[in-house]
Structure 1
Amino acid sequence: MNLWRLPEIVIAPEVIARPFGFPVTNTLLCTWITIIALVVVFYFGTRKRDMIPSGLQNALEWLIEALLGLVESVSGKEKGRKFFPLVATFIIFAFVANLLDVFPGIDTIGTVKVDELLKHGIQPQPIMFLFGDVSNAIVPWFRPPTTDLNLTIAMAVVSVVVTQGFGFAMLGGGSHLSKYFNFKALFTRGPMGIVEFVVGLLEIISEAGRIISFSFRLFGNIFAGSVLLAVFAFLLPAVANIVFIPLEIFVAAVQAFVFGFLTLVFLELGTTSHSHDHEEHAAHGEITEKEGVAAH
């Protein structure tokens, strides 16, 4: 008989309840917990708004100022103010969602699989601690939200759709669509126009690929970290807490920042007109030519 068995690794989230026939998964429950936690923290951190901030208000103001400074350093003050709400929301939400993995009870408290217990001749009890051959006969109630591919894909879709929305709003429909369907270049730039037209079509594929890369990067890193913590918690409980939990906190912060920062970069690229770049290059060429003539 084993003292314990390694936890069962399941990629898909598991349904833990069906109120009114609506399936609630363990990742959906933790998504709600993340949202509630953020609402509570920001409510208590902003309700007083003292002129000289302290405590939670001071920490939140520092966080917001740091994120706003980051966004404005990339996109400038005018566009940065518009991009800030989405980018900051992604970073803060993803970090807290990733961070749930290090809290006690995540992946370890849940509903006992009665069938597994009965196979081993064990009668289920209202409250039980599982060990031995049935130590992994459990459906956990809590699982980090970002280990659910449904959530990361939804976040990636929001990122791409909002980027396109900003592109249409700031550049206009014609200018924005010309980045993908550059018919003008076919008639004005000769052979290079064909290249630019093909590059525009490749941009469409790139937009679709961005959804895949965004979602799987965040999902893969957090899911792998969750599995790592679970496995080493069973093999070396004390060592896992000392070594891997700080590492998981670092990974949670890095992955949240990467998701938000890449969204910011693509927002900036999506609201920059290609024709504007061509005009700059043309103007630069004219200035250089004039300087050459003046030198002669």
Structure 2
Amino acid sequence: MNDVTPEPELPHAVALAWGVAANPQRGPKRELSIERIVDTAVDIADAGGLSAVSMSSVAAALGFTTMSLYRYVTAKDDLVMLMQERGIGVPPETIAEASGWRAGLSLWAAEQTAVYGRHPWLLDVPIAGTPATPNNLAWLDAALQTLAGTPLDQHERLSIVLAVMAQSRWEGLVSRSYEEAARQAGITPDDIDARGSAMLEQLVTAEEFPAVYEALHAGVFGPAGPSPFPFGLARIIDGVEGYFAGRKGAPPEPVDPLLDRAEREPKVREAAKARREAEKQLREARKRERQALAAARDRLSRK
């Protein structure tokens, strides 16, 4: 009697991501590949969002029939998983090189948010379970590695990573909404805050909304204030540090008491604004680079 439990069969998209799926034996050769299909789908999503991606839209962009794609990708869900894997890429080495768990986890969160900035459609990909593809696991591993050496157990470490991830995703969602609203209105994200603050000035009274009124007149809702997200992330990490501060072996990492005040300095705000503009230009340059690369590959494949 054989009591050995057979290994579960890998989903096709997972097998493709790990490079263990068989390549199609028939169909267009040289001109079409999994890599080219995924790259094209990512370009479409970068330009028009995840909803713009379909098997037919990708096929049309490549100049092939929809049925040709099914020889390589069996379903749109498989394509989306591969797109997500390509979009997130691998975590930068600087995370592992950071000094201390606090700096490492903060940098990991910042890099996650930057990925959402480069590919906003990633936020629309459903989270359907434990990560199973190489790049997803690399990001998870990088986050867990930042907590190595702390007195936390494995369950606690994963819970903390998920809490930090949630903060990064929320920042990504808010930032994307601002960018989309600003683009549609032909204004800047700062203009949105300025208009919103001006509107609240007309509507909010100290009698009806005393706490909001006080915050409003402190400039909280205007464009001049610091971003609330770094402060919120820092407080989450403070909570983690406080959680195991009394445990033996807890690594001491003092918090900079002047950081929040420094972020309010005019020059710091100007530098942050310049950074956002530079990041936007970098995203656009990367997109042009991908388009040029795809075009070059297309020309070479036809020779």
So what's the TM-score if we normalise by structure 2?
Answer: 0.29
Structure ID, larger Rg: 1
Higher helix proportion = 1
